[in-house]
Amino acid sequence: MTKFFWIDRCLPHPFVSVMVGLSWLMLSHSLDASDLLMAALLAVLIPKLLQHFITSTPHIDSKQAIRLFFVVLYDVIVANFVVAKLVLGSTDKLQPKWFRVPLDSQHEQVNSLLAMIITTTPGTVSAGIDQERGDILVHALSCSDPQAEIDQIKQRYEAPLLKIFQAKQGETP
């Protein structure tokens, strides 16, 4: 038995615990003692309740994950202003487009998270992952250059996700 057995017992999935606690604090928009206590309580209870459903937490590069989190947060904030300007402005300027983003890996977690990030960013929606074809179908509210959008998605999101999960191009987990 290790010295820190109680930590493993209380926090079966530490990364999930951190994400639950941070999510609660962001949703509550407060750092009051009651919100901090509730975040801590949820961070312990939710992963404990889900421990039998989460068979394993993948080994990830946490520095890269934190960096990607802030890149996505920045992109979401900027995209909100861009979409607001587009929607409140003249609809003549809208150039909706469908395009396919080719995937560099068959890694399911990387591809699923990439689709979620695309959908989370205002102005874009991932309509589906085609594992056989090896791409994600994306709809953009306004896009004059689909290849530039594809390049940006691959550079800003997919490349860091591959690093986070230590996945190689073309790799299946």
Task: Tell me the residue type at 18.
Answer: V
**Residue 13 and residue 76 in one domain:** no
Q: pLDDT tens digits for 7-64?
A: 666 777 787 888 899 999 998 888 899 999 999 999 999 988 887 887 766 778 889 9
CA atoms within 13 A on the CB side of 47: 23
* Total tally of structural domains belonging to the chain: 2
**Residue 66 and residue 45 in one domain:** no
Domain enclosing residue 23, as ranges: 5-50
Per the structure block, which two tokens stand in for 7? 């930590």
Structure-token match 């990387």, residue found: 110
**Residue 14 and residue 66 in one domain:** no
Domain assignment of residue 172, yes or no: no
**Residue 154 and residue 94 in one domain:** yes
> What separation in angstroms does the CA of 72 have from each of 32, 38, 112, 161?
26, 26, 15, 12
pTM for this model (two decimals): 0.72
**Residue 71 and residue 42 in one domain:** no
DSSP-assigned letter for residue 93: G
**Residue 30 and residue 102 in one domain:** no
